[in-house]
Each structure stands twice: as structure tokens, then as C-alpha cells.
Copies of this chain bind each other. A is one copy, B any other.
Amino acid sequence: MATANEAGDTAGLARRVLALAGDATGSAGITVVLAEPGRVHLALARRDDLLQFKGYFHGGAISGLADLAAGGSVTTLLPPGRGVVTISLHVNFLAPAKGERIVAKGSVVKTGSTVGVSSVEVVAIDAGHEQLCATATVTFRVVSSG
């Protein structure tokens, strides 16, 4: 049986990850940088309404992208018909997210039939230089996505 985490089905994984986010993804210009079993990287380009008063990416933008990358990473390991709902999100902000885009790199810590946990690093890309600006741990409930 074909599953979303079959080797080689990167395009299918990417579509499945983006389907999670709906309008929030489309309008925010989120792009899938990497989608493979257990890992999803998502990029978000700078836009005025994503910035706080000093011109850095806002905490909500960072947290939202981390949540999506984490949820995507867990989803890549689930059988078809199963999805995730966020239970809790923990973010540590380490440095100002300054630059032309941010990338959230989610990787699964553990997933089971009812609960999944993913760890995320969020980097800011500024003139080609990549700086770690936040880490996050996101906990999900695995649910029927029917």
C-alpha cells in the first residue's frame, strides 16, 4: 500500500504538509524547503505585517511557523487518514529574528498512536548568513484526519 512516507514521495509529503495550514499558509507565502520522513523544513519570507516594532520577525510568526514545521514532521510518519492537533507549544527565543526570511526545521522526537513530539530549530537568514533565533518543542495529539 502506498503511504505518504514512502521513499521518494517527497512531493506528496510536501503537499500533505501544506494542506495542514490552509489559508494561513497560502497567504503567508510559506514554502516547503524539505519534506522527508520525520523531518520538515518550512520557510517564511519577510513581510511588513510579520514584524514587531524593531523590524524583526514577530513571536507569533516564529511560533506559528514552528508549529507547522513540527506538525508537518509528525504527519510524515503517520499512516494516511491520520493527522495531528497541537496540544502544547513551547518556544525559547534566543536572538532577534532579523533577515529576509526565517526557516523552521522540525524533526520528530517521538511519535506513537496517540501522542507525537517534535523538536524545532528556527533560523533567520540575513544576507546569506543563518542564525539560530528560536527553538521549540511541540506536542501533538494524533487524530483521524478524515
Give me the interface of A with B, judged by CB distance under 8 Å.
19-24, 27-28, 48-55, 58-61, 63-65, 67-68, 85-95, 109-110, 114-115, 117, 119, 132, 135, 137, 139, 141
Contacts and interface: CB of A to CB of B under 8 A. Distances in A.
Contacts of A59: 63-64, 67-68, 86, 89
The CB with the most chain B CB atoms within 10 A, among A20, A27, A54, is that of: A27
Given A87-B92, A95-B110, 19 more contacts: A20-B52, A20-B53, A21-B52, A22-B52, A22-B54, A24-B58, A59-B63, A59-B86, A59-B89, A60-B65, A61-B64, A63-B67, A87-B88, A87-B93, A87-B115, A89-B89, A90-B137, A114-B141, A117-B135
User: Copy number in this complex?
Assistant: 4
